[in-house]
Structure 1
Amino acid sequence: MKKQLFALLLLLPAFAAQAQKIPYTNCKNCWVPDSLGNHRVVLTFNGTGKAAKVIIPWRRRDNDPENKRVIIEDAKTRQKVTNVKLSAITRESGEVVFEPTSGKGTYFVYYMPYKNEGRSNYPRGIYLKPENTASPAWLNSLNANIPAATVKEFQSIDAFNSFYPMEVIATKNETDALIAKHKSESFLVFPEDRLNSIRMTKDLPQRWIELGPQSKYTAAALRGENFSFQLGVYALQNLDDVKVTFSDLKTATGKKIPASALFCINTGGTAYDGSSLTKTVSVAAGTIQALWCGIDVPASATAAVYAGKASISINGKTSKEIQLSLNVSPTLAKNGGVDEPWKMTRLGWLNSTMAQKNTVIAPYKPLVVKNNTVELLGRKVEVNSDGFPKQIQTFFTPEMTEYADAPNNLLTEAIHFHFLNTAGKNIKLKSQGLQFTKQEPGTVQWTATSSNDSLQMEVTASMEFDGFIAYTVKVKALQDVSFKDITMHIPFKRDVAKYMMGLGQKGGYRPENFEWKWDVSHKNQDGAWIGNVNAGLQYSLRDEKYVRPLNTNFYLQKPLILPSSWGNGDKGGLNVKDDGKAVLANNYSGERKLSKGDVLYYNFNLLITPFHTINTDFQWATRFYHAYKPIDTIKQAGATVINIHHATAINPNINYPFIAWKAMKAYDDSAHAAGLKVKIYNTIRELSNHAYETFALRSLGHEIYSPGKGGGFSWLQEHIGDDYIAAWFVPEIKDAAIINSGMNRWHNYYVEGMNWLTQNVGIDGIYLDDVAFDRVTMKRVKRVLTKDGHPGIIDLHSANQYNKSDGFNNSANLYMEHFPYLNRLWFGEYFDYEKNNPDFFLTEVSGIPFGLMGEMLQGGGNKWRGMVYGMTNRMPWSDGADPRPIWKVWDDFGIKGTKMIGYWVDDNPVKTDHDKVLATIYKKDGAVLISIASWEDTDTEIQLKIDWKKLGIDPVKATITAPEIRTFQHAKTFGLNDKIPVEKAKGWLLIIK
């Protein structure tokens, strides 16, 4: 009778009281999740017979649980129970009948088993479908009087995977009862502790049913703490324009925390570029919106209880007030509490303006305006009366190691627009003059307006100390007007326009005739670089709606927006041709009509290259070791800088280096004691699911995380749910990343985080693996990394972007805006160092035309060709291309202090008699190291052509020797006129003394 009564109770829909008593526990590493899933129910059975029955009140947040397999395991034998019958499987509960194979005892029910398919680093978690393994005989033996098993506990594979308490759903009956009780209200508020992140948007947590909606929130904080809390809004009706405002918090004696110290990250803040950000929050009926709020408790606050209120308004009308009570402890929080990020103390970082002021960053110099000319490091720009560059000059020698006295002019005439009427005649505009509106060390701005009776062009430009110029060109129709074309011409000097990169053109020699059309759906292309080693210009075409797209593998999921001006449907495009006077870049937009009052924005950006001279001594002295290894091992290898990748013991989580920071600091301290520097992997493109702020960031909609189809690793599917893009995954530590949406407030957090790591952990720089932020954030990062004398070394790795997924871009062209702040390039994966020509190496890999130097990656690179550009590979990335033998030659020769003269320099004193066998020299007094590399199709012999006078060596006393270099060359001595054999795709390092 007791068993029957118990079974009846289990069948009742109102099982909340029983469910509340069932504990949720974690059983770390008690089973293998990849075959059984991350969750199980522990059952106990004390009956007898061949069947046991249980109703499991699992309260699941996943959809369609009836389509997921249930696996039952005998705890004693660890064998799968095959005789199982399921019925009434819902999100709230499931009825399970099974054979207790060991009789009385414990049984495990795994209810979300999955398997991973696809690439190990981009897995697809596939949940197993239900199966029927029960024998017909066992099924036929079942009757109505089946003894009951008892749910003992719910278990997760570890705490990180647990659904408790915020993902244990309320039942429909509980939710309906709550709604009925508050049917006159438009929404309910559930204040929640910062340690219980609100995770679900479509289900109420059971916890909230138990606690009920509240009109008061009470908490405790330390003096000086960055305190966070949540206001969970459950909409009973559609809510528009939800906002939160705060009163002052006051003590009984009148002390106060001002309202300005309270904030809500969901309704507004500070954008990544320092501008004010206002967000519109709408909540659909039946859904939940977490409002994450913060209180910056002053360090000077008196220890007392502070009381005030948070007012939640809908469409500007106050609807509810939540009384706030904060008990401030006499204890002073260390560093605002940000050293304990699991307490959500860093949410205020999202609104940071740290390092936002555009101060000049070394080695750049303050801008100087003389008349209409702006001077900057190694360059000058003369501005025309219409606001566009009349002339652009650079002052770099072809060697790129020194500044030149004589200028290199980039243009044959000013950059200009043509407005062609339907007859093809240029509509001339009269300039009203140029006006400089800002002259600061880091930024110079100017405006100019040109017009006639039918058209007005307003030009606003901003130039920065690194050579970046942003143009806003507003074209307004003063009356109805028709155009055959609107074009912008950039007339390059021929000797400057030697190379080209971008717009589908692989880096190398500029083609004689080049044509290009917009195709943003498939191609991440809106501009190109045209230049020579010591003078060049990158330009990109945009309008006022420009949004930075996703990069690398995810471009197609958030591509460029076609600029309505330049693109003009399918009419816009670009061609580059030699017109006899200049190499003309003709940027056209095609035929169109404008009605009176219509406005178009023909915006564009310019980057003047190079950015600075090459620091060759940094290249020789700074030797990266790209692996987490013992300090002694790295020092003995001869490296000087350690790059700590993610998925390592001291930096386990991708782009979130804050969890193992104490171990990282200990390692950094040990490295510094040994004379080494340490840099860490930390970029933005994706973010680990282990970030403490994951669900706070999710509450911001698509501001931080990109929209997407979801999927990926099981944790993402079980806890994030849907509407995201799954990214990189590390199987060993189950670190699953989510794609960042682009330009957003996470960049503010990133800058603050880099500052914290520099000041508190002692990092010496960062290693960037592609870049998902723009130059605004890059400048801020460089400022905090180099503050207080820290070295702030930044190197950038990129895989070859020229493919379908990446939008057919060039890594160097895509990331050129960041080059002014980098110390080295590492290009990169999928770069072919064997089949590409020297002009490709020079423009896309070496960094030399931009004032940088690089290293090779794929397959270790080609060591002979690399040295023509001063490049080796990186330890210990490729066993077959150990750079140490070449490092030894550098040291034995004394390469530090030498002058690098590349094969691209016309008056290089050492050449070969073969066009496809090139020579770069490293020259010092009385000696020269010659790097020779072949691009010939076969083995060949070459003879050196040496200008001994320019070389500064007496040929009568000179010797040519090839030192022994392991895996590179055998020792050999050559006569001055000897033929030198050169193998295909190889070369020599020769020393002349």
Structure 2
Amino acid sequence: MKGAFSQQIKYTNGNDSWNPDSLGNHRAVLQVSNAGKVAKATIDWRRRDTKPELKAIWVVDARTNKIIKNTNATDVNREQGTVYFEPTSGPGTYYVYYMPYQVEGRSNYPNAQYVKNQPNTQWSGATQNAVPALVKEIQSINAMNSFYPMEVIATAKETQTLISQHPQKDYLVFTEDRINPIKMTDDLPQRWIAKGLTNSFSGTASKGENYAFQLGIYAAKKDLNDVRVSFSSLKNKAGNSIPSSVLSCLNTDGTNWDGSKLHKVVDVPKLKVQALWILANLPATAAAGTYSGTATVTTKGTASNTIKINLTVSNTLAKEGGINEPWKQTRLTWLNSTLAQKNEVIAPYIPLVVTDKTIALLGRKVTVNKDGLPAQIQTFFTPEMTGISSTPKNILTEPIHFHVIKSNNKDLVWKNEGVVFTETKPGIVKWATKNISDSLDMDINASLESDGFMSYTVRFLAKNDIKLNDIRLHMPIQPAAAKYLMGLGQKGGTRPDSLNWKWEVATKNQDGAWIGDVNAGIQYSLRDQHYIRPLNTNFYLQKPLLLPTSWGNEGKGGIQIFKKGAAVLADNYSGEHFMKKGDTLYYNFTLLITPFHPINTDFQWSNRFYHKYNKLDTIKATGATLINIHHATPINPVINYPFIAHKEMKSYIDEAHSKGLKVKIYNTVRELSNSAYETFPLRSLGHEIYSTGKGGGYSWLQEHVGTDYIAAWYVPEIKDAAIVNSGMSRWHNYYVEGMNWLVKHVGIDGIYLDDVAFDRTTMKRIKTVLTQNGHPGIIDLHSANQYNKSDGFNNSANLYMEHFPYLNRLWFGEYFDYEKSGPDFFMTEVSGIPFGLMGEMLQDGGNAWRGMIYGMTNRMPWSDGADPRPIWKEWDKFGMQGSKMIGYWVENNPVKTGNPEVLATIYKKEKSTLVALASWAKEDVKIKLNIDWKALGIDPAKATITAPDIKNFQPAQVFNANDDITVAPRKGWMIVIKEN
């Protein structure tokens, strides 16, 4: 059958010569040679879209570029359609646009609506006398939108003929080169009909290349279950061999994001096409020559298919597996990477030290109780958060513990077999404990990592049938370590006296809280044993939290936080359970001990961000030192795939380094550009990489991805359309490898994260590769306000706290109200200070006066009218580098205002101090500075108190020590106290 169906229509590139948002992305080019009142063309367009008869067909006169009113289309189907039209300019060229659409919705979240067909009943052209219009070619608006060759469908007759030629086969296996990714799942491409069923594949590769090819499985007669591929070794005539171990099927086997082995079941419904991507990571030592072997496809209940492989290995050695040519799918092997999976200590953290049952880590200690739960958690950070002291601050009033309450309202009594440390490494310590009672066993497996993350797997196993009134986890917290609360439906701020919360996972991305003070706190999260990270940033409702079987207990569970005796008790209850003998319940949870490290104030003063692509001399002149390159820029054009313009990016970064500037790039995981070379290989993995969804969005997505996806961010200027990722997947392995490549080959100094859709394991891997070989590896995180319906009413800081140990700066505050929010909100949700971080303000430039008491400005040049340069200038004039920040929250702060609504933070140096004042009062107030001169180390007799002139911030003024200082509402001062 090979060659029986030669290509009759030429497919060409329109080179963006028309407006697709009004005419569509596809047209047939017709040539009318003879004069006549009616012209006729039958177009064999072989369309992959369904129900094409419902879409409008417009004919345009090429000479006038006007739509012809007198047109009609008949016999329109997916294979072909006949168009009649009035050739308004006589003989010449005419265009038939057959998928016109109109764009609706937000510019960055558009939805293409295809114009409906409306037959022209007003025109009755005599079709029997129509002159022929020759179809010269089919054009797509550009190469990106072309359907050729893999989306040009075979006709039903062609498909059926092929099937009938192989009556013994339940399914057909086609081979395909890596350059032509399989894109359709409902149709065979015409290309395969023309090629025929060959049962062999031939290709050419370099030594050491990450080679890939495809097997296309077509379930011709029945559903296929558990499709698998096995391989023989490959041998050449000289007796050389390439072992079968270098070949694998990406769709069925690999390595997951957490380093575990992945085995996937691939089922193919009847009449569907499934692409299987075969990876052949060839040895660099392979001798040149042609190697032959086999790939055998098996399914349950059907005969196997054997495909002969002929692979010619050239004398050329591929550099790094050929990853410099990603369009050849050489980076697909990155999906199975284990790079940076070792749980090593990352600076500034220090190796864990275990002494008896106490584990010491940077600025903190955890003592494990005999039941395996924390007996005490301590922090050693100074109140200022600028260092570590020898004086501990206890977080717990008594050990964290479970209450397992029987039906008679009495607690189960446990016997403990003792704590056994099962792994002791510098980066992680693990332990296990078995707790025994007459009715239940409670097995605890736990770990603590060097950054302060603790993970608990708690398994209750019923020894006999038992009814329980409740299983509760009590966390008794010291009031001094429970000043603030964030989470469980509460915006960050002062902890309420009581809180009563219930699970509502369908609409609430809430499973725990952070409770703490500036220098001591704990975040906890209650999790199911099959916990899957939900989607976030606008997409939570489409993939929400999984209600924990144990904690949620069909809605019976909840959390109460209240004062009880000397403690603030977090009472995590789950309600009645009936367990049969042998039943198991998992009460898993995680803990984060905050802060993570002291604040690095000098980093804040010396690294000033410029958040825009611009000329480097222009940026340097502002005083900024670190550039964030967003996507949709010349050197980083598409979202979350910074490999398209990597040469231009490297050139820009090299020049920036020569001028003393650093450059970070936008690159995160949440959505992925449709420009990714791997788009369709990733789609072949089902919903491993891309989330399920209702489809729609920009026209390219509807026309090429089809259905079952979530349309994400779109950039109209470059028509970059993204698809939402599914959550934790092998794409995170690719992401880590990609970052590694960008550090080594492009020289990036870090990344800018626009919200985060990956877990802390991936964050640690990213930090590891970004900081390799002395690279700075700077990471800053932006988040819009997550406290809304689409995001599941979570707090940005609470949502991303597991990533905080590896961040260098926060940029929280999009959609935050800096004017109406109180200082406790600034502290917990914006500043980063209780976690060892510092931040910047975002929405409308923030509030400059309030920002200063947390060491924050806004970011250049993001907000009009909120230029931080005058403040930066004053920082330099005062000499902020090397100063000690003592916040208003520090009890012995040497400068106080005497007014709880006007707060003071100082930046202390030898013989000089900068005082930042900010007001939350509703009207003008007068305050006096209460100064502890001895603590400042300044002789008051020699001191001057001045407010320097700072543009758009304050006028110059001189004060005496006893003067009243007028502070306007929502404003403040920067005052320098200096000994002359």
> Paired residue for 2:154?
170
TM-score by length of 1: 0.97
What is the deviation of 1:186?
A: 1.3
Among 952, 977, 983, the residue aligned to 2:962: 977
Report the counterpart of residue 217 of structure 1 in structure 2.
201
Deviation of the 1:183 alpha carbon: 2.3
Task: Note closer, same or farther for the CA distance 1:893–1:24 as it changes in structure 2 (3 Å cut).
Answer: same
- Asked whether the equivalents of residues 84 and 134 of structure 1 are also in contact (C-alpha less than 8 Å), the reply is no
Task: Please tell me whether the aligned partners of residues 84 and 127 of structure 2 are also in contact (alpha carbons under 8 angstroms).
Answer: no
Q: Name the residue aligned to 2:360.
A: 375
Q: 2:183 aligns with which of 178, 187, 199?
A: 199
The answer on 1:30 being equivalent to 2:17 is yes
Does the residue aligned with 1:750 lie in a helix, a strand or coil? helix
Within the candidate set 245, 251, 255, 1:266 is matched to 251
Report the residue type matching 1:764 in the other structure: D
What are the Cα deviations for residues 340-374 of structure 1, in whole angstroms up to 9, with x where unaligned? 11111000000000000011000000111100011
Greater Cα offset, 71-80 or 677-686: 71-80
Pairing 1:688–2:693 present: no
Equivalent in the alignment of 1:528: 513
Rounded Cα–Cα distance in structure 2 between residues aligned with 1:624 and 1:228: 42
Q: CA deviation at 1:452?
A: 1.3
CA distance in 2, matches of 1:120, 1:642: 26
State the Cα distance separating 1:790 from its structure 2 match: 0.4
Give yes or no for contact 1:75–1:107 (8 Å, CA) kept in 2: yes
Q: In 2, distance between residues paired with 1:368 and 1:411? A: 21
Check if 1:733 corresponds to 2:718: yes
1:146 to 130, 143, 149: 130
Matched, 1:574 2:574: no
- Which of 940, 949, 960 pairs up with 2:925? 940
| SS of 1:44 mapped into structure 2 | strand
**Change in 2 beyond 3 A, CA 1:153/1:828:** same
1:546 and 1:561 in contact (8 A); partners too: yes
Deviation at 1:143, TM superposition (A): 4.3
The 1-side partners of 2:627 and 2:303 are apart by 56
In structure 1, the residue matched to 2:620 is: 635
1:479 aligns with 2:483: no
Q: Kindly provide the CA deviation profile for residues 178-211 of structure 1, in whole angstroms up to 9, marking residues without a partner as x.
A: 1111222011111101010100000000000111
Gaps of at least 5 residues in structure 2 are none
Q: Which residue of 1 aligns with 2:577?
A: 592
Q: Find the counterpart in structure 2 of residue 6 from structure 1.
A: none
The structural deviation recorded for 1:48 is 2.0
For 1:791, the equivalent position in structure 2 comes to: 776
Structure 2 CA distance for aligned equivalents of residues 810 and 896 of structure 1: 32
Whichever residue aligns with residue 328 of structure 2, its letter is K
Q: Distance in 2 between matches of 1:183 and 1:518?
A: 56
2:289 is matched with 304
Is the 8 Å Cα contact of residues 290 and 699 (structure 1) preserved in structure 2? yes
Contact between 2:461 and 2:583, CA under 8 Å: does it hold in 1? yes
CA distance in 1, matches of 2:915, 2:35: 88
How far, CA to CA, are the matches of 2:414 and 2:237 in structure 1?
A: 69
> Contact between 2:492 and 2:829, CA under 8 Å: does it hold in 1?
yes
Deviations 1:707-726 (A, max 9, x none): 00000000000000000000
Counterpart in 2 of 1:80?
Answer: 67
Shift of 1:19: 7.7
Q: CA deviation at 1:318?
A: 6.3
Residue 50 (structure 2) pairs with residue 66 (structure 1): no
Letter in 1 for 2:541: L
| 1:299-378 mapped onto 2 (5 Å cutoff) | 299-315=284-300, 319-378=304-363
SS of the residue 2:379 aligns to:
strand
After superposition, where does 1:565-714 map in structure 2 within 5 Å? 565-714=550-699
- Conserved in 2, the CA contact under 8 Å of 1:501 and 1:810? yes
Q: Are the aligned partners of 1:678 and 1:763 in contact in 2 as well (CA < 8 Å)?
A: yes
Q: Which stretches in structure 1 are left out of the alignment for 5+ residues?
A: 1-13
Aligned to 1:109: 96
The amino acid that maps onto 1:231 is L
How far the C-alpha of 1:21 sits from its partner, in A, is 2.1
The answer to whether residue 214 in structure 2 is matched with residue 230 in structure 1 is yes
CA deviation digits over 1:727-767, x for unaligned, max 9? 00000000000000000000000000000000000000000
* In structure 1, distance between residues paired with 2:231 and 2:6: 38
Q: Which residue of 1 aligns with 2:39?
A: 52
The answer to whether 1:97 aligns with 2:81 is no
Aligned partner of 1:543 among 528, 550, 560: 528
Matched-pair contact (CA < 8 Å) for 1:19–1:57: no
Distance across 2 between alignment mates of 1:914 and 1:601: 50
The question of 1:561 aligning with 2:546 is answered yes
CA displacement at 1:514 relative to structure 2: 0.8
**Residue aligned with 2:535, SS:** coil
Deviation for aligned residue 1:76: 1.1
CA contact (8 A) 1:679 1:764 kept: yes
**1:894-973 residue pairs with structure 2 within 5 A?**
894-973=879-958
Per the alignment, residue 224 of structure 2 pairs with 239
Q: Which amino acid aligns with 2:290?
A: V
Question: Are the counterparts in 1 of residues 5 and 193 from structure 2 also a CA contact under 8 Å?
Answer: no
Which residue identity lines up with residue 110 of structure 2 in the other structure?
Answer: P
CA distance in 2, matches of 1:250, 1:783: 40
Aligned-residue offset at 1:822: 0.1
Q: Tell whether the 8 Å contact from 2:558 to 2:572 is kept in structure 1 after alignment.
A: yes
Pick closer, same or farther for the CA change 1:18–1:411 going to 2, 3 Å.
closer
Matches within 5 A, 1:427-466: 427-466=412-451
1:844 aligns with 829
Cα shift readout 1:630-672 (whole Å, capped 9, x = no counterpart): 1100111111100000000000110000010000000000001
Q: Matched residue of 1:433: which SS?
A: coil
> What amino acid does structure 2 have at the position aligned with 1:58?
W
2:410 alignment partner in structure 1? 425
The share of aligned pairs that are identical, in percent, is 64
Distance, in Å, in 1 between the alignment partners of 2:918 and 2:301 is: 71
- The secondary structure found in structure 2 opposite 1:221 is strand
In the other structure, the counterpart of 1:9 is none
Name the aligned partner's letter for residue 790 of structure 1: H
Q: Does the 8 Å CA contact 1:83/1:134 hold for their aligned counterparts?
A: no
TM-score normalised to structure 2 length: 0.99
Moved over 3 A (4+): 16-19, 132-136
Q: Distance in 1 between matches of 2:597 and 2:662?
A: 24
* Partner SS for 2:943: coil
Stretch of structure 1 that moved more, 241-250 or 742-751: 241-250
Q: State whether structure 2 residue 482 is matched by structure 1 residue 497.
A: yes
Structure 2 CA distance, aligned partners of 1:183 and 1:917? 86
Instruction: Please report how far the alpha carbon of residue 256 of structure 1 lies from its aligned counterpart in structure 2 after TM superposition.
Output: 1.5
Shift of 1:489: 0.2
Rounded to whole Å, the distance in 1 between the matches of 2:541 and 2:101 is 29
Following the alignment from structure 2 to structure 1, what is the Cα–Cα distance between the partners of residues 303 and 585?
Answer: 41
**Preserved CA contact (<8 Å) 1:82 1:134:** no
Please give the alpha-carbon distance, in whole angstroms, between the structure 2 residues aligned to 1:249 and 1:590. 60
Q: Do the aligned partners of 1:542 and 1:566 also contact (CA within 8 Å) in 2?
A: yes
The residue correspondences of 1:684-833 to structure 2 (distance < 5 A) are 684-833=669-818
Match of 1:408 among 363, 373, 393: 393
SS at match of 2:942: coil
- Equivalences for 1:6-21 in 2 at 5 Å? 20-21=7-8
Query: In the comparison of the two structures, how many residue pairs are matched?
Result: 976
Q: Is the 8 A contact 1:251 1:304 kept in 2?
A: yes
- 1: CA distance, partners of 2:16 / 2:720: 16
Whole-Å separation in 2 of the counterparts to 1:478 and 1:560? 31
For 2:219, the aligned partner's letter is A
Q: What is the Cα-based RMSD across aligned positions, in Å?
A: 1.2
Residue type at the aligned position of 1:572: G
